[in-house]
Amino acid sequence: MEGTLEILEAAEKAGKPVQVGHQKRHSLAYNRARQFVQDRENFGNVIQIESKMHGFTVFPTFYTCMLEWQCHNLDLVTSFGGPIAEIEAKSFRDSPRTGALTAMLRFESGALGILGWGTYGGPGQFSERIEVLGDQGKGVIVRNAREVTCYDQRPGRCGRTTGTQSARTKATCSMAMWASCGISSTASNRGSSRFHPSRMRPYDGVLG
């Protein structure tokens, strides 16, 4: 609140309006995932990023969907992979307003990325996914901007938790030998912490 009042005071002195912008990269789940990726000693160097963000058909043009909606996904990718050096893209347009786009990226670090965008699939719970792979056999997946999965291919284990921010209750899944993986839990999984086999081995259900 104190910081907000300082902004208000500065705006009134300057006679200017204040506009609040939103960047997904600052959300709890993405911040947590980025902590793992930036721990180079344990995670290693980023090698590959796979990311998708479905769209919806309310935008007046195909380009507008990317400009106003999927720009968040591009910002997320660069927050994990750094500056982009090269882009190659292909699109399928089934109308002037709708279609699909796939892009291959090369980051300045040399790592590669794949983007899957389009105007179909909707903004619901299956809309958004990003996976970051490192050269130490570890990876992080964020689904639906709130579910974080960390895995280590060597022990074949992963920690998985879902939820929203809570100051009092945080579920932490300790990853063998490398990191803690957790975001604040909901009432349904409060205090829970357990391992599931990694994606290399099929499993049913989600934590909580």
Q: Does 189 or 111 have the greater pLDDT score?
A: 111
pLDDT mean across residues, the chain? 78
List residues bridging with 107 in a β-sheet: 84
Q: What is the pLDDT of residues 96-147, one digit of tens each?
A: 899 999 999 999 999 999 999 999 998 877 899 999 999 999 999 999 888 9
Q: What is the pTM of this model?
A: 0.71
Please determine, for residue 161, whether its predicted confidence score (pLDDT) is greater than 70: no
Q: What is the pLDDT of residues 27-45, one digit of tens each?
A: 889 999 999 999 999 999 9
> Residue ranges of the domains in the chain?
45-135, 137-208
CATH match of 45-135 with 3.30.360.10: yes
Do the beta carbons of residue 126 and residue 54 sit within 8 Å? yes
Q: Does 128 or 183 have the greater pLDDT score?
A: 128
- The edge-to-edge listing of strands for the beta sheet with 157-161 is 84-93, 99-107, 112-121, 46-55, 128-134, 138-143, 147-152, 157-161, 195-197
Residues 76 and 52: their CA atoms lie apart, in Å, by: 11
Determine the pLDDT at residue 118.
Answer: 94
